[in-house]
Chain A
Amino acid sequence: MKKRLQGRAWIFGDHIDTDAITPGKYENLPLKELCRHCLEPVNGAFAQNVKKDDVVVAGENFGCGSTREIAPGALKELKVGAVVAKSFARTFFRNAIAIGLPLLVSQDAAQECRQGDILAIDIPHSRIRNMTTKKPIPAEPIPEELYYILSNGGLFSAHKKKRQGKTHVSASLAFGQKGRSSMKVRRPRGRL
C-alpha cells in the first residue's frame, strides 16, 4: 500500500453497487479483461482512462450489493490509489481492507471535488487535500487494527507479520489474543 499518493479524482454518486463496479455478466472473465468493464454502467470512460494513483470519490454506501471481492480487486488491478466515500457497504469495506486497497471515509469529499481535480492523500493520517482548489478535505481516521491489516498489504500478509512478531501495534484484536485458550485455532484436519 502506498502511504502517500497524488492522483485525479473520479466522481461517482450514492449507492454505487458492485454490479456497477464489476458487472456480474463478466464475472467469469479473467481479471484483466473484467477490468475493462470496471464501472462501465455508470461511467463508460473510467476503465479506459483511469491512471495509476487516481482516486475514486463517491457518496453514500459505495460498493453495496454483491459480496464479490473482484469489485475492490478490479480497482486495485487498475492501480486506483484510494477510494474515498461518504460511507461504504460492509462487504466492500472488509474486502478492500483484506486485499490492501486503501479507503477513507469522508463526509465532504463528494461535494469538495470535481471530476479531474488533483487530490493529495496521506493514508496513515487520513488527510486529503484538493490540490486544484487548494482546500483540505476532512476524513475519518482508520481504526488501528484495520490500518494494521491495510498497511501490511492485506489480511494474510498482516497475519504472517503478526505471527513473526513484527508488529508494533496492538493488532491482537484482529487475530485473536495470544495465550487465551478460547482463541486457540483448532488443529486442522482437512488436507489441501
Chain B
Amino acid sequence: MNQTIAEKILSRAAAKKAKAGNVVTAHIDLMITHDGLDSVYRILQKQGIKRVWDSSKIVSALDHNVPPHSERVAARLKEMRSIVKELGIKNYFGENAGIANQIAAEKGFVRPGMLIAGIDSHVITYGAFGAASTSFGFTEIAFLFAYGAIWFRVPSTIKFQISGRLPKRVMSKDIILEIAKTHGVNVGNYRSIEFSGDAIKHLSMESRMAMSNMAVELGAKFGIFEADDMTLGYLKDIGIKNIQPFRSDQDAEFEAVIPLDISRLEPRVAWPHSVGNVTPVSQCRDIPIDQAFLGTCSNGRLEDLRIAADIVKGRRVFRDTRFLVIPASWDIYLKALKEGTLETLIEAGAIIGNVGCGPCMGLHMGLLAPGETCISTSNRNFRGRMGSYEARIFLASPATVAASAIRGKIADPRDF
C-alpha cells in the first residue's frame, strides 16, 4: 500500500497506481466555479465546445463582485446567470449564498476522498474534509468542463505532526502563520500538505478549513486533514452518512514529517507584504490601524464571528477604525443573526456587510487609501491587494482582529 492520502485519491481518480512524481490523467469528482465563469464560457465558445461533460458535477457561485459595484460588473453577473442556465448547471447559488469555497461544504457536495477542482485558489479549503482540492486557471477549467479529466503531477507530501492544545484566544490561523514563518511561503510548492497529530482532533471543522485555506499560501497543491470523527460528525449533521474516509497508510512515504507543538503558541501576525513575514503579536503591538476586517473564506465562519463577539462584547470599536464583518455565507449570517452574535458585534460598532469576498482582493466594500493600515483575517497581504499600493495589510486571527478593532491599534487578544 504505502500511499499518502494524495496518492490514494489520485490513484482512484486516475484508475492506476499513482506515486509521487508520476504524471497521471485524473477524473475530477467535483468542480467549483465563481465569478470567473464567463471567462470559462468564452474559452469554450472559442473552442467550439457545445456541451459540458457533466453539469451535475459543477457547483457555481457568485462571490467576488456581489452585489455588483458597477454597471459593467452588473452586466457580467447578468450574463453569468444566463450562462448557468445555458450550461444546465443546476447547482447554482446566487448572489446571496456566500463564498464558493464555503458553500459547497455547507450544502453537502464535498466528501472525503474526492478530487475537487476550482477556479479559485482557496478551493483548497475543502482539504479540511479529507478531499484533494486544488485550483486551475480558466483554460484548464474550460478543459475540465469539456472533458472532465486533466493531467496531474502526483505530489510528494509534507506532513505537519501537530501536538498540544491551543492556549486561550489562540486560533488555528496562528498555527498556519507560524508554519509560514518557520518554513517559508513556498514550503508546499508542487507538494501536498497533510495536517496530522493529536492536536488535530481538538480542532473544529471551521478551524481546519482556515488552515487548509492557507495551505495555498505555502504554495501547496492540496492541504489535507484526515477525515475523522469530527469530519464524519459534521457531515452527518448535514445529512451525509456512510462515508469512506481515506487515510495515509502507516508505511506511506512522506517527503518530510515536521513536528510542531502548539501548546505555547502566541497569537501571530503577518506583516506586509508577505504571508511569511510573521512575528508574535507582542512585536507589533500599538501599530495604529484604520480598518479591521473579519471575513473571507479563510476566517469568516461562525466560530470566528463568535470569538470576535466575545471579545467586543460590552466594548466600543475605536472611533477612527472601520470594523468590517462579512460572514462567509448566508447560512453563517443567519445563524449568527439568530443567536445574537451579530447583534453584539453591531452594538460594539461593527459594520456588517453582505456575504461574499468583501474587500479581500481589492474590488469593493472597504478598500484602503494610501497610507492606511488594515488588520485582516483574510489570507493575502500582498502590496495593493485591498486598494492602494501604499496601504499596509497585516494578517491575523479573528481574535486578534477583533481586539485590534477595539483598541484602534494592533492588540493582543489575550488581554481581553
**A residues touching B (Cβ–Cβ < 8 Å)?**
15, 17, 19-20, 23-25, 27-28, 40-42, 60-61, 64-69, 72, 87, 89-91, 94-95, 98-99, 143, 145, 154-156, 159, 173-177, 180, 182-183, 185-186, 188-192
- Give the chain B neighbours of A176 by CB distance below 8 A: 25, 149
Closest to A100 in B: B139
**Among A27, A145, A159, A177, which residue has its beta carbon within 8 angstroms of that of B143?**
A159
A25:B384 contact, CB within 8 angstroms? yes
Minimum CB–CB distance from A69 to chain B (whole Å) comes to 3
Taking CB atoms, residues of chain B closer than 8 Å to A60 are 186
Q: Give the residues in chain B near A192, CB-CB below 8 Å.
A: 44-45, 49-52, 86-87
Complex Cα gap A88–B57 (Å): 30
Cα–Cα distance between A137 and B39 once the two chains are bound (Å): 37
Query: Contacting chain A: which of B130-138, B156-164, B285-293, B396-404?
Result: B130-138
A143 touches B121 (CB 8 A): no
Set of chain A residues within 8 Å of B362, measured between Cβ atoms: 19, 23-25
Complex Cα distance, B142 from A95, in Å, reads 12
Cα–Cα distance between A19 and B381 once the two chains are bound (Å): 10
Which B1-46 residues have a C-beta within 8 angstroms of A? 14-16, 23-25, 39, 43-45
Does B240 touch A at the CB level, under 8 Å? no
Whether the pair B139, A98 counts as a contact (CB closer than 8 A) is yes
29 A-B pairs, CB-CB below 8 angstroms?
A15-B186, A19-B380, A19-B382, A19-B383, A19-B384, A23-B384, A28-B70, A28-B72, A40-B389, A41-B389, A68-B137, A90-B221, A94-B137, A94-B140, A95-B140, A99-B137, A154-B139, A155-B139, A175-B25, A180-B15, A183-B25, A183-B149, A185-B147, A186-B54, A189-B56, A190-B53, A190-B54, A190-B87, A191-B87
CB-based contact A174/B23 at 8 Å: yes
Contacts of B300 in A (CB 8 A): none
Contact of B55 with A190 in the complex, beta carbons under 8 Å:
yes
In whole angstroms, what is the CA distance A136 to B272 when docked?
37
For the complex, give the distance between the alpha carbons of A109 and B171 in Å: 41
Determine the main DSSP class of B at the interface with A. loop
Q: In the docked arrangement, what's the CA distance between A189 and B190, Å?
A: 33
CB distance from B76 to the nearest CB of A (A): 7
Chain A residues near B121: list those with CB within 8 A. 65-67, 91
Looking at the assembled complex, report how far the CB atom of A112 sits from the nearest CB atom of chain B, in whole angstroms.
21
Residues of A within 8 A of B257 (CB): none
Contacts of A98 in B (CB 8 A): 137, 139-140, 143
The closest CB in chain A to the CB of B389 belongs to A41
Question: Which B94-122 residues sit within 8 Å CB-CB of chain A?
Answer: 119-121
Could you tell me the distance in whole angstroms from the C-beta of A71 to the nearest C-beta in chain B? Answer: 9
User: Are B138 and A174 in touch, CB under 8 angstroms?
Assistant: no
In the assembled complex, B151 has its CB within 8 A of some CB on chain A? yes
Task: For the complex, give the distance between the alpha carbons of A94 and B137 in Å.
Answer: 8
Query: What 6 pairs across the A-B complex have the smallest Cβ distances?
Result: A182-B15, A190-B55, A69-B137, A95-B137, A190-B88, A24-B361
A134–B186 Cα distance when bound, in Å, is: 32
Known: A28-B65, A155-B143, A174-B23. A67 touches B120 (CB 8 A): yes
Q: How far is the CB of B231 from chain A (nearest CB, A)?
A: 26
Chain A residues in 8 Å Cβ range of B70: 28
Question: Whole-angstrom distance between the alpha carbons of A85 and B149 in the complex?
Answer: 29
Nearest-Cβ distance from residue A100 to partner chain B, whole angstroms: 9
Q: Is B197 an interface residue (CB 8 A)?
A: no
Residues of the A chain whose Cβ atoms lie less than 8 Å from the Cβ of B280: none
Contact between chains at B136 and A67 (CB < 8 Å): yes
Chain A residues, CB < 8 A from B385 = 19, 24
Give A25's nearest chain B residue, CB to CB. B362
B23 x A173 contact (CB < 8 A):
yes
CB distance from B215 to the nearest CB of A (A): 12
Q: Could you tell me if B382 and A188 are in contact, using CB atoms closer than 8 angstroms?
A: no
B369 contacts chain A at the CB level, 8 A cutoff: no
> Chain A's nearest CB lies how many Å from the CB of B96?
21
Q: Is B219 an interface residue (CB 8 A)?
A: yes
Contact for B186 among A87, A159, A185, CB less than 8 A: A87
